[in-house]
Structures are given as structure tokens and as C-alpha cells.
Chain A
Amino acid sequence: MELFVCIKRVPDSAAKIRVAADGKGIDPAGVEHVISPYDEIALEKAVQIKEAAGAGAVTVICFGPAEATKEIRQALAMGADKAIHLKDPGGARGPLGVARVLADNIRARKFDAILFGRQSIDGDNSAVGIIVAQLLGLPVVSLVTKLELKDGVGVAHREAEGGTEVVEVKLPAVFTAQRGLAEPRYPSIKGIMMAKKKPVEEILAPAPSGRLEIEKLSPPAERAAGKIVGEGKAAVPALVKLLRQEAKVI
């Protein structure tokens, strides 16, 4: 089983996000980076599938700056066999631009499936996996919570609105991981040691100039300070009154 997993380097979910002086990006000071959480889920699943099959390889692909070497080593320590680092010289681009870089560097390779996170936790687009599938002419199943790949067929459970769909698809195909698909492992010491020796292919990959421009980044609208209505059940009537008369939501 040859599996590709696309991973993105993103600010840690607990990071404080401050707008940089240019008003267009974030201030990098003190911001820790990690593999986007859904991508870790996709990676874990890919490693489990490979381990169960007892054959094949998991390749992680990351389009990111030079610093993404850290996240790539982390992915190798979590069980990926090799990596492709598409080095991003920087510049703005939308999901279509990112997807083009990924698709262009995957197209000529051999694989049974490509796994993505359902969404990156910085761009929050939920788009790149679906676009890559279109660009490569492959079927895609999104929001996958359970996945089995064998004999050229994938069977996925998909979290649709109000129910779980069991979807069957011919391989090669694209899947995007939803929470529940797998629990990412912590790398073992042995895993970390082995990661140092695993191959990383480095390719300079400028993204096509997109037709998107980030004009401004702003902090979210502050919520007006709220009030503590009171303590314990005695405060309930006052709360209900406020919800009816002031907030008018009930």
C-alpha cells in the first residue's frame, strides 16, 4: 500500500495570535508551530493501514518554509517512511495555489491513496484536499471517520449531516480525515532516532501567483464585557428576564 499524507505546518492551537506590524500577517514572536491536528490524524491512520498490510510505505508531503523540517521530522518519528518537502519561498496564495503545488508534485508518482486533514487550523478552508482530488482527476471522500483500503477499493465512513454514510470508492482516491478516524501516537524515542535517518526529498516549489490577496489581518471583534447575573439557582429568574428583555433571544 503506497500512501501519501499531506501535512501543513501551523501555529499551535493554544498560540496567542497577534497581528504583525504590516497588518497583513501574524507576529511570529513566541508562536510555536505544530503539524495541523487533523493532518496528524490522517498520518496516524495511514501508518496504521501500512502496518496492518505489512507492506508499502507512507510518504508525507509538506509545502512549507525551511522551518517545516521540524514538523516533517515529527511526522517521520510518528511512523512515516519518507518525506517530500516542497520548499515554499513565500508569497500569498489561496487554497487553489497550494493545491496546484501539491498536485503538480504528486501527479507523476505512484500511490493508492492520498490522505489530508479535513481542514488546516490556520487557513480554515477545508479545501486543499478536495481541490487536489479535482486537479488529479481522482474521487474524494471527505470527513472520514473510519477507513479500510484493500484490493483496490476503499470503504470509508463519512460524517454527513445527521448520519454516517458508508462510501465505497475505487482506488486511487483522496480522503480527508475527521476527528475519530485515529488517535495520533506520541513518537517513541526509537521513532525519533529512526526519523533522523529517513529520506527527505527537497524540492523548491514556488506557488503560482494566485488571484487572491490578503489585504488586511485584524483581531476579531471584541465581545462587550458581560455580567455575572448572580450566584446559584437564585439567579435564574434574573437571567431569564435578561434573555427575554435585553438580549431578546428567547
Chain B
Amino acid sequence: MAAVLAFVETSRGKLKKSAAEILGEGKRLAQKLGGTLDAVVVGHGVTALAGDAGKLGADRVLVADAEVFKAFGVDAYLKALVKAVAASSPRLFVMAASVVGKDLGPALAAATQSALLADVTSVAVADGKVRVEKPVYAGKAVATIAASSPMVVATLRPNVFVPAQPEDGRSAPVEVVDAGVKPDDLRAVVKEVLAKASEKLDLTEADIIVSGGRGMKGPENWGILEKLAEAVGGVLGASRAVVDAGWRPHEEQVGQTGKTVSPKLYIAVAISGAIQHLAGMRTSKCIVAINTDPEAPIFKVADYGIVGDALEVVPVLTEELRKLRE
């Protein structure tokens, strides 16, 4: 029996960046509960990654490795998690509030009749309860919620929790989980993947985001933002005005009806800072705004601002940052 069971995601033969955050927080909570930390890894050809989970603090690693897990699907993955729960009987189940975690967390809560605490930004355990902080109303308020079911499922917001540092030489026993999933059990089948998955990080996991707004005037000006993103090692985001205009795909939209992000650095270029945009990025660690209008609301949340024309300021900023890198 473990105090905490952590589901860690993999991608392209590696643990995802979020795995260190989930195991770091999982370990801390397991220690608080006076128990151990189990990790569960699901996928195809992922057995070799169990060692990495051990290095990141897992005391035991449960592995469900089979061809049916090659592409993510709720039906198959849920079966594996339910088996892992049976093998581990944790008090608390943690995973990332990622695209995958947002499918699996609720499904697991339903399957095990557990309370679900979704997309939380802090977790504490005391007097038999799991207590979390969770942004609600798109970050316009924070709720403190306590759950008391025998097992509690919590999904942790990416980029918020302190990642575990790998300890070379640390290892954990590995146990095989046979989920007994047959290809026929899959009811939703991925037939094809369009727009071939790029190497690019998902916005929600990025450390640095360069976001453009309507003040960029048109899609033809995005080249300078791409160059800036390249120079700082960031990924591109956008306001809804830009997505609605069809200048950028909606996967890039940040805000209440887009993605919620908490990068280390968020550079808002020619974005006014409407309440719905702020909802998606106000928890960024450092915000920089570039805008011609000194009264733009974005300056109220920005740590640093430059009042000026983006088309003029951005290339100079890119140049300065490039020099730094050299």
C-alpha cells in the first residue's frame, strides 16, 4: 500500500516534463502522509522509462506496457489506472492537468467513486482530508476545497509545482500491470493524426511564451514574433481577437476560452489585456508588455512594460537577446 500514486506521462520515448513536477509533489505529499510513493507509467515500449521515474523519487513503479497503449485512449488507459489503483490502494492519486490528465482524472474519479480535485495549484494533507487550492472563475478567484473520500484524485496544473531533481543511482522496483485490454475494448478509435505532431512544446508546458494581439495589424507581421520566440526559446501564443480574425490557429489562443498558461516568462505584444485574456495568463511568473497605449490594462499586470510600436520594438529586442546567446 502506498500513500500516493502518481501517473506520469511519456512522449517520444521520454518521461514528459510534467513527470518531474508530479513526482516531486507526490513525494512531498507521501512523506507528509508517512507513506511511500508509487508511480504508474502507461504506453507502448515504456518499460525502459521506469528507471527514470525511480530516479525522480518513486519508491515503486507500476508499468502497463502494451501495443494497445500506443495511442492515448480513455478506455484503455483507464483500465490500466484502475488496475494500478488496485495494486497500490493509495490515499491520493495525482496526475498532470494536461490534455491527457483532463480525460483520465475525471474518468478515474468516476470509476473509483472518488472525489475529483481538478487543475489545482496547491495540495495539503491534514486531519484525514486532502485540501487544495484551485483557481475558479477563470482565475478571478481561488477556492480552498477539502475532500474526504477514501481515495482522492487530483490533477495538478502544469508549471506550478516544484519539479523533482533526478538522483543518479537511485532505483525503484518495477512491477508489471496487466490491464488485460484487448483491441476490441477500445470504443473510440484514433483513425489518423492530422497536422503531424510537431516537436514543439504544448503552450501549457512552455517556459516562455511570446503572444501577439490585434495590434500586430495582420498575420504578415508574425515573422517578427516567430524570430523573438526563437531567440528566447519560447513558443507562440495569441489573443482571441487574432484567432477570430483567422491570423493564428485556435490552439494558440490564451485566455478564458483558450489555454491557461503559467510560464516563467510571458511576453504580451500588442495585446490590450482584456479580462478574458488575463484569465489565461495572470499566473505567469514574469509578464512583459509591449503596447502603444500606456493606458492598456495589460500594463496593470505586467512586471515590465515598454510603451511603443511592436513592429519597431520587437526586432530590436530579438537582436539584443540574440547577442546574449552568443
Nearest opposing residue in chain A for B102, CB measure: A126
A169 closest partner in B (C-beta): B188
Q: Is B193 an interface residue (CB 8 A)?
A: yes
In the assembled complex, the Cα of A16 lies from the Cα of B312 at a distance in Å of 35
Given A130-B110, A131-B109, A236-B188 contact (CB < 8 Å) = no
A148→B27 CA distance, assembly (Å): 44
A237 & B275 in contact (Cβ 8 Å cutoff)? no
Point out the residues of chain A lying under 8 angstroms from B136, CB to CB: 122-124, 217
Contacts of B178 in A (CB 8 A): none
Is A96 within 8 A of B188, CB to CB?
Answer: no
Is A163 interfacial (CB 8 A cutoff)? yes
Flag whether B321 is at the interface (Cβ < 8 A): yes
When the two chains form their complex, are residues A179 and B257 in contact, meaning their CB atoms are under 8 A apart?
A: yes
B182 at the interface (CB under 8 A from A): no
Question: B285 at the A/B interface (Cβ < 8 Å)?
Answer: yes
Look across to chain B and name the residue whose beta carbon is closest to the beta carbon of A221: B142
Mark contacts of A212-226 with chain B using CB atoms, 8 A cut-off: 1 yes-contact digit, 0 otherwise.
Answer: 111111111101101
When the two chains form their complex, are residues A94 and B142 in contact, meaning their CB atoms are under 8 A apart? no
Q: Is the CB of B301 within 8 A of A223?
A: yes
Q: Which of A145, A179, A216, A232 contacts B312, CB < 8 Å?
A: A232
Any A CB within 8 A of the CB of B138: yes
Interface assignment of A75: CB less than 8 Å from any CB of chain B: no
Q: Mark A172-183, 1 if CB is under 8 A from B, else 0.
A: 010000011000
**Residue A191 interfacial (CB < 8 Å):** no
For the complex, give the distance between the alpha carbons of A125 and B119 in Å. Answer: 7
Given the contacts A130-B107, A157-B194, A212-B146, A228 and B116 also touching, CB distance less than 8 Å: no
Is there a chain A Cβ closer than 8 Å to B287's Cβ?
yes
B233 to chain A: closest residue by CB: A250
Contact present for A226 and B301 (CB under 8 Å): yes
- Contact, CB under 8 Å: B197 / A228: no
Give the size of the chain B interface in residues (CB under 8 angstroms): 94
When the two chains form their complex, are residues A236 and B106 in contact, meaning their CB atoms are under 8 A apart? no
Closest-CB distance, A97 to chain B (whole angstroms)? 9
The stretch from A49-57, A66-74, A132-140, A198-206 touching chain B is A132-140
Which B-chain residue is minimally distant from A222 (CB atoms)?
A: B301
Residues 121 to 153 of chain B near chain A (Cβ within 8 Å): 131, 134-149
Q: Which of B144, B188, B287 contacts A214, CB < 8 Å? A: B144
Question: B197 near A218 (CB under 8 angstroms)?
Answer: no
Interface of B is mostly: mixed
Give A230 to B324 CA distance when docked, in angstroms. 21
Determine whether the beta carbon of B115 is less than 8 Å from that of A239.
no
Contacts of A160 in B (CB 8 A): 72, 99, 193, 197
Of the residues A215, A218, A226, A249, contact of B131 by C-beta under 8 Å? A215
A169 engages B253 (CB within 8 Å): no
B74 CB within 8 Å of chain A: yes
The contact of A250 among B98, B103, B189, B265, by CB within 8 Å, is: B265
What separation, in Å, do the CA atoms of A121 and B190 have in the docked complex? 28
CB of A235 closer than 8 Å to a CB of B: yes
Q: Are B196 and A163 in contact (CB under 8 A)?
A: yes
Complex alpha-carbon distance, A142 and B144, angstroms: 27
Binary flags per residue of A151-180, CB closer than 8 Å to B gives 1, else 0: 000010101111111111110010000011
B197 touches A162 (CB 8 A): yes
With the chains together, A250 CA to B318 CA distance in Å?
Answer: 13
Neighbouring A residues of B105 by C-beta, 8 Å: 127
Determine whether the beta carbon of B317 is less than 8 Å from that of A220.
Answer: no
Interface string of B181-207 (1 = CB under 8 A from A): 000000111111111111010100000
Interfacial chain A residues near B110, Cβ < 8 Å:
96, 99, 130-131, 134-135
Interface residue? B28 (CB, 8 A):
no
Closest 4 CB pairs of A and B: A134-B110, A139-B187, A162-B197, A127-B106
Chain B: residues with CB nearer than 8 A to chain A? 11, 71-72, 74-75, 78, 98-100, 102-103, 105-107, 109-111, 113-119, 131, 134-149, 187-198, 200, 202, 208, 232, 243, 250-251, 253, 256-258, 264-265, 275-276, 279, 282-283, 285-288, 294, 299-309, 312-313, 316-317, 320-321, 324
Task: Return 16 A-B CB contacts under 8 Å, by A number.
Answer: A19-B141, A94-B116, A121-B138, A124-B134, A125-B106, A130-B102, A168-B191, A169-B187, A173-B188, A179-B253, A211-B148, A220-B282, A226-B301, A232-B308, A236-B320, A247-B265
